[in-house]
């Protein structure tokens, strides 16, 4: 039986989730308090549908399997999973999830797309906080495989298990978070790299464009299919990661000690803004996003071919 997914909050993330779940053969019910959300979401689905087609549809996939609902209660009728994608505000999420909770049987999981807020900060308004989980996608969800899944202080393990199983069943690559931490997992890794990228600009070691080139043409290529631990495992040669630690561990520690601790002062921000504008070369945000999505599509196809 197909999953029936409620999308609560139809901004950029919610519209992207809607597109993905439709492509995976789900029935989708969407609600957002903003006027015109149905038209905007439908336009988003239509725009990305050809991209999703190239990745391959699940059986029964159709953009017609969506209902744009007039109120929250209608959107939750008969659903088997809820993906909340409201504003990144703890008070707003707490109230919204509390309202969602009132209209669902207690066994239905409520999963939040929260970018950085831990589930403990927004599950307290629910009568059944044990079924509230984090289900944080990487942007854009209709293309990026990663979903970070975890619970809050009141979440029960069955809810996290269900979310993990659900995301895996629709083709995502879910990662289970073992504890709550600000920024979750992947965003913390990104933040570590970006901190050094800002430091290098601030100190004049390299331009914005050259830093981006270095990342995209170096570590970024490997990181598309192999994380840092496995990368260093191969860097150790026949002895693997143990040999790497033996011969280059001290060097790694010296590099860590030399990493910067930049501040986003007005001067630093202006350097980065000017550098990004130069690198963008007049391309609009929509043009850059379209180029990103096309490259992601080709990369995902290559990775899928490599895995077969």
DSSP string, 106-170: TTS-EEE--SS--GGGTSTT-S-GGGEEEEEEPSSTTT--EEEEEE-TT--HHHHHHHHHHHHHT
Which residues make up the CATH 1.10.1040.10 domain(s) of the chain? 186-225+263-307
Task: Tell me what pLDDT residue 305 has.
Answer: 87
Task: Tell me what pLDDT residue 287 has.
Answer: 95
What distance in Å separates the CA atoms of residue 249 and residue 229, rounded to the nearest whole number?
Answer: 13
What is 4-176's CATH superfamily? NAD(P)-binding Rossmann-like Domain (3.40.50.720)
Q: What's the pTM?
A: 0.92
Contact 224, 301 (CB under 8 A): no
Residues in the chain with pLDDT values less than 50: none
Token pair belonging to 53:
């087609």
Phi, psi values for residue 117, rounded to 5°: -70, 130
Task: Tell me what pLDDT residue 307 has.
Answer: 80
Task: Tell me what pLDDT residue 210 has.
Answer: 97
Token pair belonging to 122:
């927004």
Q: Dihedral angle at the C-alpha atoms of 227, 231, 232, 235, nearest 10 degrees?
A: 180
- Residue range 186-225+263-307, CATH number: 1.10.1040.10
Which residues make up the CATH 3.40.50.720 domain(s) of the chain? 4-176
Task: Tell me what pLDDT residue 2 has.
Answer: 86
């Amino acid at each position: 039986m197909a999953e029936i997914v409620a999308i609560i909050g139809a901004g950029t993330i919610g519209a992207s989730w809607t597109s993905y779940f439709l492509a995976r053969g789900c029935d989708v019910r969407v609600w957002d308090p903003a006027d015109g959300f149905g038209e905007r979401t439908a336009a988003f689905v239509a725009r990305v549908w050809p991209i999703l087609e190239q990745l391959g549809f699940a059986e029964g996939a159709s953009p017609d399997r969506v209902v744009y609902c007039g109120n929250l209660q209608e959107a939750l009728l008969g659903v088997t999973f809820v993906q909340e994608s409201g504003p990144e505000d703890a008070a707003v999420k707490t109230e919204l999830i509390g309202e969602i909770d009132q209209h669902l049987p207690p066994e239905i999981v409520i999963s939040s797309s929260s970018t950085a807020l831990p589930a403990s900060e927004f599950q307290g308004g629910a009568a059944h906080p044990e079924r509230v989980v984090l289900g944080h996608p990487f942007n854009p969800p209709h293309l990026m495989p990663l979903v970070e899944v975890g619970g809050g202080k009141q979440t029960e393990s069955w809810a996290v298990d269900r979310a993990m199983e659900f995301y895996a069943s629709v083709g995502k690559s879910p990662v289970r978070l073992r504890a709550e931490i600000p920024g979750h997992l992947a965003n913390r890794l990104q933040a570590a790299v970006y901190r050094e990228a800002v430091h290098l600009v601030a100190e004049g070691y390299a331009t914005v464009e050259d830093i981006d080139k270095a990342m995209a043409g170096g570590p970024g290529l490997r990181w598309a299919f192999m994380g840092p631990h496995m990368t260093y495992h191969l860097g150790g040669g026949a002895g693997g990661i143990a040999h790497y630690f033996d011969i280059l561990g001290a060097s790694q520690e010296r590099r860590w000690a030399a990493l910067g601790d930049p501040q986003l002062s007005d001067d630093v921000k202006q350097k980065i803004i000017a550098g990004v504008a130069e690198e963008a070369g007049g391309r609009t945000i929509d043009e850059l996003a379209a180029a990103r999505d096309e490259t992601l599509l080709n990369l995902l196809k290559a990775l899928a071919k490599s895995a077969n």
